[in-house]
Amino acid sequence: MQSQSAMDFLTSKRFITGTLVILVVLNVTLLGMLWWQNTHKPEHRSYRITRQYSKHVYFARPLALSEEQSLQFRQLRKEHFRKVMPDLQAIAALKKDLVSESVKEKPDTAKIAALAGSIGARQTVIEKEQALHFQKLAQVCTPGQRDSLRNILEHVAVRKLQIREERSKEHPGSMREFGPAGIGKDR
């Protein structure tokens, strides 16, 4: 008798209607949450880049650096940034001049070429200093850590290119795609 009343309850209109109402409410709620997640992007906050002054050594954990190695890495990093900062500042000023000249009604192409050459020369100095900096970091590492350092540095270099490629895909037409050696693919 009890099983008969349970069957009657499960087949009753009231139970089926209640179940359908609960399912509809759950579906509407979940769809609303999905819609809200897709339409409300997280706020883009501006952060001040203070990477060169951070006391935390990024490589300490992945390389399993000792405390002494971390201190040496931190010191080498400070020295590196002190050494390249004048070139970074000069590049920023040269780029400002380059933009100013480029947007003039009649830009001086010789001046633009000279500014671009100066930027390139400064960038070459920075790249050389960075390679020497990596060499000094590697000298602090054990052979096993050196291999890990090489992998991390290669990943960082490749990741920067991937980020640029992703940005160009997000904004098609805003940037020309570049092939090997900076040669435009659309030429």
- Check whether residue 167 and residue 135 sit in a common domain: no
Domain annotation covers residue 9 = no
Please tell me whether residues 127 and 148 are part of one structural domain.
no
In sign, the C-alpha dihedral spanning 54, 56, 58, 59 is: positive
Q: Tell me the pLDDT tens digit for each residue of 118-163.
A: 999 999 999 999 999 999 999 998 988 888 888 888 888 787 777 8
- Within this chain, do residues 132 and 168 fall inside the same structural domain, yes or no? no
Q: What is the DSSP letter of 180?
A: G
Task: Work out the pLDDT band at 185, boundaries 50, 70, 90.
Answer: very low
Q: Which helix (H) or strand (E) holds 131?
A: helix 109-140
- 165 shares a domain with 123: no
SS3 of the chain: helix, strand, coil, percent, to 5? 75, 0, 20
- Say whether both 136 and 150 belong to one domain: no
Kindly state whether residue 49 falls inside one of the protein's structural domains.
no
CB 133 within 8 A of CB 101: no
Query: 166: domain range?
Result: 143-177
Q: Are residues 118 and 151 in the same domain?
A: no
Q: How does pLDDT run across 74-87, given as a tens digit for each residue?
A: 899 999 999 999 99
